[in-house]
């Protein structure tokens, strides 16, 4: 688990560089903390699974409606009244790029995995239930006045990266 | 000059199309997966394609397009930035490679390069 936690840095690194480049503005990234129970947060989540020899799990990017709309506006230069298919696609693609770049960082350490296509979960203050044997870690992040959450669920008992 | 933009994300297609238009390429067509792109590729003089897409992925699309004789430049625009992936794409008929997220100047520079401008 300690080693698995070290690898979380790669997800945080990817989130930071990807989000700043796509938004064109500063993004705050907080320290990872291990989640206890199923955390209810936000209105929209973009969820992507990944799996391979070295590491498997699920990455979720979680937003309030206001944050998702703010993100869309920052990226596309257009403000929308409500979250529809454009916003769903937008947060899904950001999750895809964050995980894709993390995949490249892991590959440089000879840990390889494949990633799936994003799924969007919608609902006020929803929680996401991972399998029991997964460790779930929160990496809070933010931009402008918005607080968002990246959740990384990792399968336990697999070969840690870098070993 | 007609440019074909292939990506399953409508957000990414819009970002790429905006970049193309700002650089003076206004005749743009789009497709949401490789299968749809195969039906449109013959009219294109330049293709920008994603790799990870449902129905038909970008690498399969490139192989199929090259297989039926499409010989115009193809640029892969993808999150797949690891060396092995880049090499595999280049080996299968991709002319150049852009890793997402990209800046607009990088995209324009690569386009000009493959077009020999
Ligand atoms: Mg894609």
Range of the domain at B44: 3-106
Query: What are the chain B neighbours of A111 within 8 Å (beta carbons)?
Result: none
B78 shares contact with chain A (CB less than 8 Å): yes
Count: domains in chain B: 1
Using 50, 70 and 90 to split pLDDT, how confident is the model at A2?
A: very low
DSSP state of A62: E
- At residue A105's C-alpha, the angle toward residues A54 and A154, to 5°, is 40
Cβ–Cβ under 8 Å, residues A143 and A70: yes
Which residues place a Cβ less than 5 A from the ion ligand 1?
A: B 8, 50, 52
The CATH number of whichever domain residue B31 belongs to comes to: 3.40.50.2300
> What fold is seen in the domain A2-156?
Chemotaxis protein chec (3.40.1550)
| ipTM value | 0.89
Residue B117 falls inside a structural domain: no
pLDDT tens-place string over residues A28-49: 999 999 888 788 999 999 999 9
pLDDT tens-place string over residues B24-48: 999 999 999 999 999 999 999 999 9
Residue B116 falls inside a structural domain: no
- Name the residue in chain A with its Cα closest to that of B14: A76
Q: Are A117 and B80 an interchain contact pair (Cβ–Cβ within 8 Å)?
A: no
pLDDT tens-place string over residues B45-62: 999 999 999 999 999 999
The 3 state secondary structure assigned to A106-142 is: HHCCCCCEEECCCEEEECCCCCCCCCCCEEEEEEEEE
Q: What is the mean pLDDT of chain B?
A: 95
Mutate to test the interface with B, among A19, A76, A100 (most CBs of B within 10 A): A100
Q: pTM to 2 decimals?
A: 0.91
Query: What are the chain B neighbours of A92 within 8 Å (beta carbons)?
Result: 9
- Tally C-beta pairs within 8 A across A and B: 53
Query: What are the chain B neighbours of A89 within 8 Å (beta carbons)?
Result: 9-11
Q: Which of B114, B47, B50, B44 is nearest to B77 (CA)?
A: B50
Residue B18 falls inside a structural domain: yes
What is the helix (H) or strand (E) element at residue A45, kind and residue range? strand A44-52
pLDDT tens-place string over residues A103-136: 999 999 888 999 999 999 999 999 998 887 888 9
């Amino acid at each position: 688990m300690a080693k698995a936690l070290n690898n979380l840095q790669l997800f945080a690194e990817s989130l930071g560089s990807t989000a700043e480049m796509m938004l064109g503005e500063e993004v705050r990234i907080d320290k990872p903390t291990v989640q206890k129970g199923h955390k209810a947060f936000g209105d929209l989540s973009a969820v992507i699974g990944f799996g391979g020899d070295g590491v498997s799990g699920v990455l979720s990017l979680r937003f309030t409606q206001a944050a998702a709309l703010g993100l869309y506006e920052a990226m596309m230069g257009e403000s929308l009244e409500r979250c529809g298919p454009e916003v769903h696609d937008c947060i899904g693609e950001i999750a895809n790029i964050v995980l894709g770049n993390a995949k490249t960082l892991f590959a440089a350490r000879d840990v390889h995995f494949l990633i799936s296509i994003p799924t969007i979960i919608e609902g006020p203050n929803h929680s996401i239930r991972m399998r029991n044997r997964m460790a779930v870690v929160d990496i809070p992040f933010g931009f402008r006045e918005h607080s968002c959450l990246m959740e990384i669920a990792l399968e336990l008992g697999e070969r840690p990266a870098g070993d | 000059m007609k440019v074909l933009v292939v990506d399953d994300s409508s957000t990414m297609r819009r970002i790429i199309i905006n970049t193309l238009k700002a650089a003076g390429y206004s005749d743009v067509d789009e497709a949401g997966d490789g299968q749809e792109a195969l039906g449109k590729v013959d009219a294109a003089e330049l293709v920008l394609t994603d790799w990870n897409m449902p129905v038909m992925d970008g690498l399969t699309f490139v192989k199929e397009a090259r297989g039926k004789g499409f010989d115009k430049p193809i640029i892969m625009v993808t999150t797949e930035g690891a060396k092995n992936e880049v090499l595999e794409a280049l080996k299968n008929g991709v002319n150049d490679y852009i890793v997402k997220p990209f800046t607009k100047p990088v995209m324009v520079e690569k386009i000009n390069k493959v077009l020999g401008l």
